Structure 1
Amino acid sequence: MRSLTLAEARERSSLITITSYAVELDLDQGAEVFGSHTTARFTCAEPGAETWVDLKAHSVETVSLNGEPIDPDRVSDGRLALSGLAADNELVVAATMAYSHDGQGLHRATDPADDLDYVYGHLFLDAAPSVFACFDQPDLKAPYDVTVRAPLDWTVIGNGAATRTAPGTWVLATTKPLATYFVTVCAGPYVSVRDEHDGIPLGIHARASLREPLERHAAELFDVTKRSFDYFHGLFGIRYPFGEYHQVFVPEFNAGAMENPGCVTFRDQYLYRGAATRDELLTRANTVSHEMSHMWFGDIVTMRWWDDLWLNESFAEYMSHRALVDATEYTDAWVDSSIVRKVWGYGAERSPSTHPVAGVEALDAQSALQNFDGISYAKGAATLRQLIAYVGDDPFIAGVRAYLTDKSYGNGTLADFLGAIETASGKDLEAWSRAWLLTADRDTLSVDLEEQGGVVESAVVRRESPADRPADRPHAFDVAGWTDGREVARASVTVTGPETTLAGLEGTPEPAVVVPNASDLTWARVRLSDSTVAALPSQLAQVPDAQARAVVWSALIDGVHGATVSPDTFLDVFDASWPHESNSSILTRVAAYAEHRVVPWFVPRPAQDDALDRLNRAGSGLLERSGAGTTESLAAARLVAGTSDDAVLLRAWADGHGLPAGLEEDGDFRWIVVRNLASRGLVGADEIEAFRAKDDTLQGSLNALMCRASLPEADAKAWAWQQLTGREGRSNYEMIHLARGFWAAPDDDLVADYVSRYFTDVPAMSGWVGEDALSRVVLVAFPKVFTDETARLSARAISRDDLTPAVRRSLVDADAELREALASRATFGAAV
């Protein structure tokens, strides 16, 4: 279906104003379809003019405009033309809609644990017309009255407080003006935990089979929720205006969460069934705070058009980390950002698809989705930190308050936001925004030291701007140095040119390790000196500053991807430093990166077994000396479970024998072991099914699919490929898990024939899979056969003119990662 263009959106918003929506949903019509009845009231600035309403229905029963019937067959390509508009209009549409299974629209999922069905709405971007007739663009906001008919044993939750007015009938309170993409309804036999804070009713909800983890994690979730409310109330000076605040953990969710006012939806993997590391709890707390900050920035004030969507996400990314550090126990949230979010963002910046943070005009709605990436989130947040360094924190918050107050329940633009900051700070931001927001790519920061007799004689920071995307970005950051665990130097600096003298380092002892951007205050490629890299195996574990250690690991990862750091060097540092790491985020994320990216992508196949053995030895050593049930023990056990080739150990763990303390009943941990066994051919499909029967849940079924796809057998690969790329009715999550397992193989020959098939079969799935879900499948399913032939086929596929925007963008990004792997192997393969 055609995507709304910016020109069309501007024309329609200049013509009409939406007064209200009344939406009635009948969710008691079976598992495939639901009834949708919409009454939309709107005014028209030019009576007699024409426009259209967006409608993506299974069937349309009746339509009337101002009491006059309209032929339902006039719906074409997701649009229903409306002509002869009056000054005041009432549009009534009765339709039947189809549930989705790809995480977009009104998604319906069956929990195999009890065969109960759950529904949730994810109307992001352009999915709202598949739920109700609407004028689907972010600047046409209106209040909603929603009524839901549902099976008698279902609970209904939505943007407004839900009241059961009769058996199976629920009425939701009238909302504040909302953009169409914020509307949601969650319905099913959800279980709930409720509380209240500062006059705000709170609810947390999940599938019935997740009652135990829901109740176990409720106190922590409520604590973060309450602390975030208090923090944002104080910071923004505006009380939360959307009534009740519900957080619903829903199945098969495409993203981490969605900031629907009053009814935030989360992926239900955040309700950890088994053991959770501290950084996993931090990640969840960050997501809770992130979505709450959107209640102000995004929900009270919404961007006018999708090309300013980055501002919502950058703001929430920054504010959630700030709130965790200032108001919760997770005071190391910025360390987590360095090793998780910024590593993701730097990857997006390395790709040919890199783009400026702002100023990329999205000519249609689907184009906007392509820039919804680590640049919009992580780089945007880092840019806001630099903006604060430039204007000051107090003027920044004053500007934010003014922007939110002035634009409440309406729409804003980047120009509006920057104008508010300029007024509050008295500083002109034109040059700053041109360099930081309107120019893609990043600078490279490095430090050159000259020493005499072990004392620093001169120190210079070098800032290199990309030659093909030059910019004059000011950077405020610090440089620090350590020797044998002792900080011997630290200096703050604002860099405004190619070279800046670091007078603060002159006369200090020469450090063994020098870290530019040690507190990770700016966005840049950090180039470590050769002497620092050489010293890391003996020095990094002794550096007491977790933030600086995260910056070093991020720089090493960046270097591996850029073929400036060999994977062997990375593994040398891992061997020496990782077993002594005390920060949970660094510990777990670096281990996962080593196992799932560095070894399989950058280490040549003949050397991969030895590399995995190095990881296994590191994990085993840490496991032996870690306290039972600690993050260290869990991280080490997971690494051993994924890398060990000890069939006796793996089979014992899979059967529940000799497990590390705290993992005796952990089904998710068992699946790590089973996947390892499956990929080595040490279990078969029947045994995988037996393990699934022990974990007869949604997550257990997904893991079983991944393990079956991992089996090193031709028949297993053929089956998995058909399930993945055929019209087999698989959900978005099922496709992702099949893709995760498929390319596991003892050698490339087993899956070589599927490389060319990928470039035809997967793009063709756009005929029945939504763009959001398919973009993820394209990335995960991209061939893990790292050859020049794969690169040739990939380049040819990207040049096709029939790809959807989401497929093309994901192919470009996956192709870039393939070429990074090829470049690294070509540079360092012989050494490894």
Structure 2
Amino acid sequence: MRSLTLAEARERAALLTVTSYAVELDLDQGAEVFGSHTTVRFACSTPGADSWVDLKARTVETVSLNGVDLDPADVVDGRLPLTGLEADNELVVAATMAYSHDGQGLHRATDPADQRDYVYGHLFLDAAPSVYACFDQPDLKAPYDVVVRAPLEWTVIGNGAATRTAPGTWRLATTKPLATYFVTVCAGPYVSVHDEHDGIPLGLHARASLREPLERHAAEIFDVTKRSFDYFHGLFGIRYPFGEYHQVFVPEFNAGAMENPGCVTFRDQYLYRGSATRDELLTRANTVSHEMSHMWFGDLVTMKWWDDLWLNESFAEYMSHRCLVDATEYADAWVDSSIVRKVWGYGAERSPSTHPVAGVEALDAQSALQNFDGISYAKGAAALRQLIAHVGDDQFIAGVRAYLTDKSYANGTLADFLGAIESASGTDLAAWSRAWLLTADRDTLSVRLEEQGGVIDSAVAVRETPADRPADRPHTFDVAGWTDGLEVARVTTTVTAPETRLDGLQGAPEPAVVVPNASDLTWARVRLSDRTLTALPSQLALVPDQQARAVVWSALIDGVHGATVSPDAFLDVVEAAWPHETNSSILTRVSAYSEHRIVPYFVPRPGQATALARLAASGRALLDTAPSGSTESLAAARLVAGASDDEALLRAWADGDSLPDGLQDDGDFRWIVVRNLAARGLIDVAGVESYRAKDDTLQGGLNALMCRASLPDPVAKGWAWEQLTGRHGRSNYEMVHLARGFWSAPDDALVADYVPRYFTDVPAMAEWVGEDALSRVVLVAFPKVFTEQTADLSARTLERDDLTPAVRRSLVDADAELREALASRATFGAAV
């Protein structure tokens, strides 16, 4: 299908004004298709002009424009031409649409736990025309009236309050003006929990088989929801404008969540079936608050075109963390951001695909999707924190309020937002915006100390800017130092030059550990001194500042990726400091990153068994001392379950024997153990299926696929590859789980033959897999055979001119990670 270009969008927006949509969906036509009837009313500024409507149907039954029948065969490449438009127009389209299984459009999934079907709409970025006929661009907003026909036992939830008007028929209340990609309908035998807050009806919904975790977690989710409403009402000075507020946990969701007004959809893994660590609850709370902040940033005021995507995501990223810190128990949310979100964003910044936060003119919609990454989220949020440091928080909030008020129910741009902040603060932001928002890449911050007799004689903050992307970014941040757990120095500075004296450190004792950007206030590569790196194994666990510890871990991860810190040195710090970590986000994320990224990517295969044994020993050390049922105990048990080679222990845990407290009925934990057994060849297909029989659910089936793909057997690998790349109607989640297991192997020889096949078979899947889903498959399925031959194949593939935008972007990022691994192995391989 053609992707809408910016030029086309501007031309159509100048010509048309959409006044209303009336959409009728018939979801009672079986498991493959549904009926779609759309009436759209719109004005045309130039009567007699021509345009088109977007429509991606299985079949088109009838079309009429202003009472005149059009030929359904005129729909070509997802577009229906509209000629001779009048000043006021009515278009009526009756079509049959196909359900999707890749998480885009109207997705339909079957829950194997009870064989019930569930439907939800995910229309981002350009999937709306696969559900109803529309003018699919973010600046043609209109109110919606939606009627849904569904099986009698189904419940229907959507953007407007749902009323059952007859058996199997539901009418949704008329919405405020919405962009096309925000429209959603969720339908199926969902179970629900209801509440109310400040006059706003609240609902939580999930598959029937998830009733127990939904009800168990409802109080916590509602509490965060209510606190977020109160916080944002007070902060923005505008009440939530979209009526009821429903949060629907849906199966096989491509993203974390989607901010559909009045009906937010979430991946249903957030309803933790078993034990959950504190940071997992924090992550869910952050997502709840993030999506709610979108009701103002994105929904009330929508970007005019996709190149201002950051106006949605950077703000939601910043506002959700701010809300959690100020209004909930999760006061350490910025620590979580440092070790989760910013690590993700720094990875995007290291890739050749890096881009500015804003101002990248996306020439078409699909190109814009490629910038939907950790830069738009984490870097944008960090830039906003620096903007606040630059203009003041009161002035920032005043500008935000003015922007939201002025652009309510309409569209905004970067220029609109900056203009509002400039007016509120009296500050010219042209230079600031050019440096922080319009220039890609990041600076490197370090501290140069000179000492005499153990006392700091001089201290200088050093700012290095990328030579190929120069920018004059002001950074406001702090530098702190510790020795044996005692903070001996801290100073806050604003850096506006390559070198800035830190006179506040002069005369202080020289610290064992010095951390630039200790409170993680800015966005930069943090370079730790050699003295600090040497001291970390003995000193890091003693540092009482959890935010500074997160910055150190992030710097270490960055250093491994940049081949300036060896994986062996990283594991030294893990062994020494990780078992003593008290922050849940640092604890769980460092262990997971060590097991799933540091070891398989940066440690050559011959050394991986020893590296995993080191991790397992660290996990065992913490497990032996952690309080029963605590986050520490759960994190430690997960690390042991995934990294240990103790067959007797693994078999006992898989069978439910001698489990740590709190994990006796935890099916998700058991799958960690089973995957380890499978990857080591200690069980076979029948063994995997026997565990699936104990957990015959959607998640159980996905984990079983991953475990079968992990089996170190040529037959198992052949089956997994064919299931992944063949046309079997596999869902987006099934493909990703097959890919996650596939490259697990005791040596490269077992999977080497599939390396060249990846570069032909996976890009070809664009013929039947949506761009959003395929972009994830491309990344996860990229060969974990780190050789120059793989790099050569990857380079040649990137020279092709037939790759879709999503495939190309994911290949660029995966190729960058491959080259990071090769550089690290070349530098440190002999030492591991």
* TM-score category, normalised to shorter length: over 0.9
What secondary structure is seen at the aligned counterpart in 2 of 1:76? coil
- Using the TM superposition, give the Cα deviation of residue 68 of structure 1 relative to its aligned residue in structure 2, in angstroms: 0.4
Match of 1:146 in 2: 146
Spell out, residue by residue over 1:173-213, the C-alpha distance to the aligned partner (whole angstroms, 9 max, x if none): 00000000000000000000000000000000000000000
What secondary structure is seen at the aligned counterpart in 1 of 2:458? strand
1-structure distance, mates of 2:820, 2:609: 21
2-structure distance, mates of 1:397, 1:595: 41
TM-score (norm 2): 1.00
Spell out, residue by residue over 1:382-440, the C-alpha distance to the aligned partner (whole angstroms, 9 max, x if none): 00000000000000000000000000000000000000000000000000000000100
- Using the TM superposition, give the Cα deviation of residue 571 of structure 1 relative to its aligned residue in structure 2, in angstroms: 0.4
Spell out, residue by residue over 1:1-23, the C-alpha distance to the aligned partner (whole angstroms, 9 max, x if none): 00000000000000010000000
Match of 1:549 in 2: 549
Write the letter of the residue equivalent to 2:39.
T
Match of 1:24 in 2: 24
2-structure distance, mates of 1:116, 1:543: 52
Write the letter of the residue equivalent to 1:511.
P
1-structure distance, mates of 2:606, 2:725: 30
Match of 1:473 in 2: 473
The yes-or-no answer on 1:652 pairing with 2:652 is: yes
Alignment of 1:756-795 (within 5 A): 756-795=756-795
1-structure distance, mates of 2:580, 2:161: 49
Match of 1:432 in 2: 432
Match of 2:156 in 1: 156
Alignment of 1:79-228 (within 5 A): 79-228=79-228
Spell out, residue by residue over 1:199-231, the C-alpha distance to the aligned partner (whole angstroms, 9 max, x if none): 000000000000000000000000000000000
What secondary structure is seen at the aligned counterpart in 2 of 1:829? helix
Write the letter of the residue equivalent to 1:293.
S
Spell out, residue by residue over 1:565-586, the C-alpha distance to the aligned partner (whole angstroms, 9 max, x if none): 0001000001000000000000
Match of 1:676 in 2: 676
- Using the TM superposition, give the Cα deviation of residue 351 of structure 1 relative to its aligned residue in structure 2, in angstroms: 0.2
Write the letter of the residue equivalent to 2:622.
L
Write the letter of the residue equivalent to 1:568.
D
1-structure distance, mates of 2:310, 2:160: 27
Write the letter of the residue equivalent to 2:755.
V
- Using the TM superposition, give the Cα deviation of residue 310 of structure 1 relative to its aligned residue in structure 2, in angstroms: 1.4
1-structure distance, mates of 2:503, 2:248: 53
- Using the TM superposition, give the Cα deviation of residue 694 of structure 1 relative to its aligned residue in structure 2, in angstroms: 0.4
Match of 1:459 in 2: 459
The yes-or-no answer on 1:662 pairing with 2:662 is: yes
Match of 1:513 in 2: 513
Match of 1:742 in 2: 742
Report the RMSD for the aligned CA atoms in angstroms. 0.3
- Using the TM superposition, give the Cα deviation of residue 606 of structure 1 relative to its aligned residue in structure 2, in angstroms: 1.2
Match of 1:720 in 2: 720
2-structure distance, mates of 1:799, 1:377: 29
2-structure distance, mates of 1:249, 1:600: 32
Write the letter of the residue equivalent to 2:25.
L
Alignment of 1:783-822 (within 5 A): 783-822=783-822
What secondary structure is seen at the aligned counterpart in 1 of 2:624? helix
Write the letter of the residue equivalent to 1:156.
V
Deviates more, 1:596-605 or 1:282-291: 596-605
1-structure distance, mates of 2:751, 2:627: 41
2-structure distance, mates of 1:626, 1:465: 44
Match of 1:248 in 2: 248
Write the letter of the residue equivalent to 2:817.
E
**5+ residue gaps, structure 2:** none
Write the letter of the residue equivalent to 1:376.
S
TM-score (norm 1): 1.00
1-structure distance, mates of 2:551, 2:749: 39
Write the letter of the residue equivalent to 1:694.
K
Match of 1:419 in 2: 419
Write the letter of the residue equivalent to 1:810.
S
- Using the TM superposition, give the Cα deviation of residue 604 of structure 1 relative to its aligned residue in structure 2, in angstroms: 1.2
Match of 1:376 in 2: 376
- Using the TM superposition, give the Cα deviation of residue 362 of structure 1 relative to its aligned residue in structure 2, in angstroms: 0.2
Write the letter of the residue equivalent to 2:814.
A
- Using the TM superposition, give the Cα deviation of residue 134 of structure 1 relative to its aligned residue in structure 2, in angstroms: 0.2
2-structure distance, mates of 1:516, 1:202: 44
2-structure distance, mates of 1:163, 1:573: 58
- Using the TM superposition, give the Cα deviation of residue 289 of structure 1 relative to its aligned residue in structure 2, in angstroms: 0.1
What secondary structure is seen at the aligned counterpart in 2 of 1:677? helix
Match of 2:387 in 1: 387
Write the letter of the residue equivalent to 2:542.
Q
2-structure distance, mates of 1:48, 1:460: 68
Alignment of 1:480-629 (within 5 A): 480-629=480-629
Write the letter of the residue equivalent to 2:38.
T
Write the letter of the residue equivalent to 1:692.
R
What secondary structure is seen at the aligned counterpart in 1 of 2:94? strand
What secondary structure is seen at the aligned counterpart in 2 of 1:494? strand
1-structure distance, mates of 2:646, 2:386: 49
2-structure distance, mates of 1:200, 1:521: 35
Runs of 4+ displaced beyond 4 Å = none
Match of 2:259 in 1: 259
What secondary structure is seen at the aligned counterpart in 2 of 1:470? coil
- Using the TM superposition, give the Cα deviation of residue 447 of structure 1 relative to its aligned residue in structure 2, in angstroms: 0.1
2-structure distance, mates of 1:535, 1:712: 40
- Using the TM superposition, give the Cα deviation of residue 311 of structure 1 relative to its aligned residue in structure 2, in angstroms: 1.6
1-structure distance, mates of 2:611, 2:101: 39
Write the letter of the residue equivalent to 2:827.
T
Match of 2:305 in 1: 305
2-structure distance, mates of 1:54, 1:94: 13
1-structure distance, mates of 2:720, 2:279: 33
Write the letter of the residue equivalent to 1:21.
Y
1-structure distance, mates of 2:703, 2:274: 15
What secondary structure is seen at the aligned counterpart in 1 of 2:608? helix
Match of 1:327 in 2: 327
- Using the TM superposition, give the Cα deviation of residue 607 of structure 1 relative to its aligned residue in structure 2, in angstroms: 1.0
Q: Percent identity?
A: 85
What secondary structure is seen at the aligned counterpart in 2 of 1:514? strand
**5+ residue gaps, structure 1:** none
What secondary structure is seen at the aligned counterpart in 1 of 2:222? helix
1-structure distance, mates of 2:114, 2:606: 46
What secondary structure is seen at the aligned counterpart in 1 of 2:242? coil
What secondary structure is seen at the aligned counterpart in 2 of 1:703? helix
Spell out, residue by residue over 1:264-295, the C-alpha distance to the aligned partner (whole angstroms, 9 max, x if none): 00000000000000000000000000000000
2-structure distance, mates of 1:327, 1:785: 46
What secondary structure is seen at the aligned counterpart in 2 of 1:24? strand
- Using the TM superposition, give the Cα deviation of residue 824 of structure 1 relative to its aligned residue in structure 2, in angstroms: 0.1
Write the letter of the residue equivalent to 1:220.
E
2-structure distance, mates of 1:310, 1:403: 15
2-structure distance, mates of 1:735, 1:65: 42
Match of 1:49 in 2: 49
Spell out, residue by residue over 1:116-149, the C-alpha distance to the aligned partner (whole angstroms, 9 max, x if none): 0000000001000000000000000000000000
What secondary structure is seen at the aligned counterpart in 2 of 1:3? coil
Deviates more, 1:604-613 or 1:200-209: 604-613
2-structure distance, mates of 1:567, 1:630: 29
2-structure distance, mates of 1:455, 1:47: 80
1-structure distance, mates of 2:762, 2:600: 22
- Using the TM superposition, give the Cα deviation of residue 831 of structure 1 relative to its aligned residue in structure 2, in angstroms: 1.0
Deviates more, 1:600-609 or 1:363-372: 600-609
- Using the TM superposition, give the Cα deviation of residue 605 of structure 1 relative to its aligned residue in structure 2, in angstroms: 1.2
2-structure distance, mates of 1:200, 1:311: 26
Write the letter of the residue equivalent to 1:353.
S
What secondary structure is seen at the aligned counterpart in 1 of 2:97? strand
Match of 1:698 in 2: 698
